[in-house]
Structure 1
Amino acid sequence: MNIQQRTFQWGGLSLVATASLLALHGCGGSDGDAASKASNIQAAWVMVGTKNEAIARVITNYVPEASAGPQEACPLITVDGGVSRMSLRSAPSNPGLRPTASDPTDSKPSAFPVTVCEQALPATALQVNVAGQNLPLPKAQPQRIVVFGDSGCRLKKVDNAWQACGDSAAWPFEKVANAAAALKPDLVLHVGDYHYRENACPSDIAGCKGSPWGYGWDTWQADLFKPAAKLLAAAPWVMVRGNHEECARGGQGWFRFLDPQPFSAARSCDLASNDATANYSDPYAVKLGSGTQVIVFDSAKNPKTALKPEDTQFAIYQKQFRQVADIAAKSGLVNNFFTNHHPILAFAPIAGAKPAQANPAMTSVMSSLNAQAYYPPGVNLALHGHVHDFQAISFKTGQTATIVSGTAGDNLDVALPDPLAPGTEPAPGAVIDKISHHASFGFLLMERRAQPSTGWSFKAYTADGKLLATCLQQGYSLGCDKAGFLTP
């Protein structure tokens, strides 16, 4: 920042102030600061970090003068009247083409012509403002929490899947996000898969013609930041990583924009040589006020088949589930909820056939630690996405209750058979007591009940905000007011 001094007379004294200080504390606040102009800000939100800290994040397209440092691209942030410049998280970059999940002929280098800035916020903060926008802050006792996943618009050549991204009926994520924002949540839990526009839409398909594609900023803006703008402004977010954010897919954007940890070039996914590290993250817990916490687990690289003890991934996930057990055991809380992207004790629907067990890979690891209980003691509810339907399941055999809410925007899966055939289990030894399910776009709303011991309620809504079912959790039990297939 260029510093200029000005001298003022006050009470017979000469006072020297710097131009930068005037910009911070003058009558206009940040109005005179070029980096803080609202027109430069592409997205601004608050997320919860790995230590329960609130983190303000901003994406800006402001480019400072060549003589200034990259930090000068970051806007000023006002926290309870105090003004400072946000810290640089990642500067604009154009990493070279890396191996992706697509054929090289259907891939292109990712371009990030934007700067990402951030600021850890004190727990005592009451008001935070960036570029004239007040940012939402976490509440000590959140009462209402929106849960959803799988929100992006699918453009994928290998599946010949070309979702109509401009059609709010075919891709209703903005409608879902706005309906959720209208319920005035205290927190948003996204259970993964934010980005789906992987390949170029064919020119003869009108529904997605001209859509941005690839893994750069333009697709992240189209798939997440633009349609979710109202919901990002309404409440802080907890970000869970999905398989679409693994390194060979949207991992570069994940680490620049959404990962809760400090940015590191070695974990940026820019170089495939770092994937073995960058595709995994240690679990952490987010406190939901008295009595409850949610344990966040990164399953981005979850394989489709069972793992063997000699497999590298088996050892990685086994270590991380031991960490989950430790987090739950030390919490002393009534409710330890678990969240990751891939369902564990749930089903993968198959058109015209018996549904498959959703996650033989994770259950092979978890059973090595906790037999057919799968989860460690004290984890009494799990929240997932990945499967593009809604499932709420409790078990006669005492396993952790499960909710899948992967219906925010991407193409829906077929509905589960109704009723399920006798003996149908999501994992060996997990005998279903109750199941409610649907295959329509929508989201979930968690609401705190009177006491921690009475658990939470979970309401399944359609994209239009119609209530489909209400489920009550208490301990390992989950019961819904409607069973079987739910008709929108």
Structure 2
Amino acid sequence: MTTELPGGCPSVTFVDSQGTRTSNAMIPVSTPQLPLFPTTVCRLPVPVDARQAMIDSGSTQALHVRPAYNVPLPRWGVPTRPRPASIAVIGDTGCETTANAALNQNCLKDWHFHGLSVNAATTSSPDLVVHVGDYVYREEPQLASDKSLGCNVMSERGGWGCLVKDFFEPAEALLAKAPFLFARGNHEACQPPVVGRGVEWWRYLATQIFGNDECFSISSNHPAEAEPVVIDAGTLHFILFDSSAIPDADDFVLNQAVATQYIKWFNQVNALANRHPMQEYFLITHKPLWMVKAASSTAVTWTGPTLAKAVEQTTAKALAPNIRLVLSGHEHLYQMLDFNSTRPPQLTVGSSGTKLETAPDDTKVEGKVVDGEPVTQSISHDIHGYAVLRADPGNPWRLTFHNSAGRAQSPSCTLSTGTTKEFSCP
């Protein structure tokens, strides 16, 4: 949590399954650094048996807790619900403002993330929210149509004010509904001398949040802090794979030198998945491994050859067999791509807020070869929205795409449970 007031961290009261209450003081991680970061950042691990968590409003100067003092906790980990039953997937959520004002989004009229957040929270009622990366798009915040104190001058290019405007405020309904799993996108790079841009990721959202100025000491290539990380959600496991450092110039062409650097990380991904070979894993990487950007009657343009080559050159020559799905963003549209093979389907959700790209013609995608395998099914949407994965205990995952108003778009798809991994979308 954060508070815009200096001083100590608040306490949190936990209530366990037996009704026992315990209170623990949060641990300070960083202190205010004006003008970009007027915040004290605090953290506290949540006990596994906690069923309720409440921030103690009177214990410190934390007077601006939003949206409420009750912290949403996991609703799984019991025999009747061994894993999340409903997962909302969002990505690329911010409002785009660049140096070319004529191409900017109108953040008051054409940016749908706030409404999307409210509708996803109320109509989809997720147990968990996965954000696949890219939170702040206000690279020229002084050009935004919804200027606000703290995010309105070019020199900021990030910082607390822009993170609040681009993410915390519009995502408030979802943040109050369910725990979040945050992935790092290519917009979350710590790049001095652009003081604000990217620092907010390491300061507020990273799996390992850093203290004051620590991100400036991170390697610009691939920091050790960004090694693959596994997040356990009961019997479902997520592996966060940091692909943010791959140059955008290599999105559509193979860069073998870069691919070679990533072989080590994908071997680690497979090792993590082999911890529980009979349980399901979802791989989260902001840049897709296999995703079709454009299609003609004769060929497709697909993004991911550098990452895909790194997977091909791992010890296993593929992803571990219990990695059932790849979740990504980066490209500003929605797409589900599968191959009816041992390769997991690629789900791309980059359509939750920022300016959209034109989706390819799915009829021209299907049957085309991507990374050595023909696409058996492609479902793409170039409308703002989010994905929902639902599965009752013992049942397979069902995937639907919802528009920003919360309405499900056909078709609804079911993930197979056999050796081949594909979605059935009647």
TM-score class, shorter-chain normalisation, is 0.7 to 0.9
Q: Which of 164, 178, 196 matches 1:235?
A: 178
Within the alignment, does 1:146 sit opposite 2:88 as a pair? yes
SS at match of 1:347: strand
Q: Which of 2, 17, 30 matches 1:90?
A: 30
Residue 257 of structure 1 and its aligned partner are, at CA, apart by 0.4
Higher RCO, Cα 8 Å, sep 6+:
2
Within the alignment, does 1:222 sit opposite 2:165 as a pair? yes
Residue 378 of structure 1 and its aligned partner are, at CA, apart by 2.6
SS at match of 2:346: strand
Aligned to 1:156: 98
Q: Structure 2: which amino acid aligns with 1:123?
A: V
SS at match of 2:308: helix
Q: Structure 2: which amino acid aligns with 1:363?
A: A
**Residues 105-145 of structure 1: per-residue CA shift (max 9 Å, x gap):** xxxxx711111111111101122111371111112231111
Structure 2 distance, partners of 1:199, 1:351, is 35
Structure 2 distance, partners of 1:353, 1:226, is 45
Q: Structure 2: which amino acid aligns with 1:93?
A: Q
Residue 376 of structure 1 and its aligned partner are, at CA, apart by 3.3
Q: Which of 116, 122, 125 matches 2:50?
A: 125
| Alpha-carbon distance change, 472 to 363 in structure 1, aligned in 2, over 3 angstroms | same
Kept in 2: contact 1:335–1:455 (CA 8 A): no
SS at match of 2:220: helix
Residue 262 of structure 1 and its aligned partner are, at CA, apart by 4.5
Within the alignment, does 1:190 sit opposite 2:126 as a pair? no
Structure 1 distance, partners of 2:188, 2:182, is 11
Alignment of 1:283-362 (within 5 A): 283-290=228-235, 292-303=236-247, 304-305=249-250, 306=253, 311=257, 313-349=258-294, 355-362=300-307
Kept in 1: contact 2:129–2:179 (CA 8 A): yes
Aligned to 1:51: none
Residue 423 of structure 1 and its aligned partner are, at CA, apart by 5.3
Structure 2 distance, partners of 1:177, 1:478, is 28
Residue 396 of structure 1 and its aligned partner are, at CA, apart by 3.9
| Alpha-carbon distance change, 415 to 276 in structure 1, aligned in 2, over 3 angstroms | closer
Aligned to 1:137: 73
Q: Which of 26, 33, 36 matches 1:111?
A: 36
Residue 375 of structure 1 and its aligned partner are, at CA, apart by 2.4
Residue 407 of structure 1 and its aligned partner are, at CA, apart by 1.0
| Alpha-carbon distance change, 113 to 481 in structure 1, aligned in 2, over 3 angstroms | same
Residue 163 of structure 1 and its aligned partner are, at CA, apart by 1.1
Q: Which of 1, 6, 10 matches 1:75?
A: 10
Larger radius of gyration: 1
Aligned to 1:45: none
Structure 1 distance, partners of 2:423, 2:415, is 7
Unaligned 5+ runs, structure 1: 1-57, 65-71, 95-109, 483-488
Q: Structure 2: which amino acid aligns with 1:244?
A: H
Kept in 1: contact 2:97–2:137 (CA 8 A): yes
Residue 242 of structure 1 and its aligned partner are, at CA, apart by 0.6
Residue 458 of structure 1 and its aligned partner are, at CA, apart by 1.1
Q: CA RMSD in A?
A: 2.7
| Alpha-carbon distance change, 262 to 421 in structure 1, aligned in 2, over 3 angstroms | closer
Unaligned 5+ runs, structure 2: 16-20, 58-67, 78-82
Aligned to 1:259: 206
Q: Which of 134, 157, 174 matches 2:114?
A: 174
- Which of 79-88 and 212-221 deviates more? 79-88
| Alpha-carbon distance change, 354 to 89 in structure 1, aligned in 2, over 3 angstroms | farther
Q: Structure 1: which amino acid aligns with 2:172?
A: A
Q: Structure 1: which amino acid aligns with 2:202?
A: F
Aligned to 1:281: 226
Structure 1 distance, partners of 2:264, 2:92, is 27
| Alpha-carbon distance change, 422 to 277 in structure 1, aligned in 2, over 3 angstroms | closer
Residue 198 of structure 1 and its aligned partner are, at CA, apart by 1.0
| Alpha-carbon distance change, 368 to 185 in structure 1, aligned in 2, over 3 angstroms | same
Residue 287 of structure 1 and its aligned partner are, at CA, apart by 2.4
Within the alignment, does 1:379 sit opposite 2:315 as a pair? no
Aligned to 1:15: none
SS at match of 1:458: strand
Aligned to 1:245: 188
Within the alignment, does 1:478 sit opposite 2:422 as a pair? yes
**Residues 211-234 of structure 1: per-residue CA shift (max 9 Å, x gap):** 635111100000110111111111
Kept in 1: contact 2:12–2:26 (CA 8 A): yes
- Which of 227-236 and 156-165 deviates more? 156-165
Query: How many residues are paired up?
Result: 388
Provide TM-score, normalisation by structure 2: 0.83
**Residues 25-55 of structure 1: per-residue CA shift (max 9 Å, x gap):** xxxxxxxxxxxxxxxxxxxxxxxxxxxxxxx
SS at match of 2:244: coil
Q: Structure 2: which amino acid aligns with 1:166?
A: L
SS at match of 2:106: coil
Residue 449 of structure 1 and its aligned partner are, at CA, apart by 3.7
Aligned to 1:388: 332
- Which of 401-410 and 376-385 deviates more? 376-385
Kept in 1: contact 2:222–2:245 (CA 8 A): no
| Alpha-carbon distance change, 159 to 361 in structure 1, aligned in 2, over 3 angstroms | farther
What's the % identity of the aligned pairs?
A: 28
Structure 2 distance, partners of 1:254, 1:448, is 31
| Alpha-carbon distance change, 135 to 209 in structure 1, aligned in 2, over 3 angstroms | closer
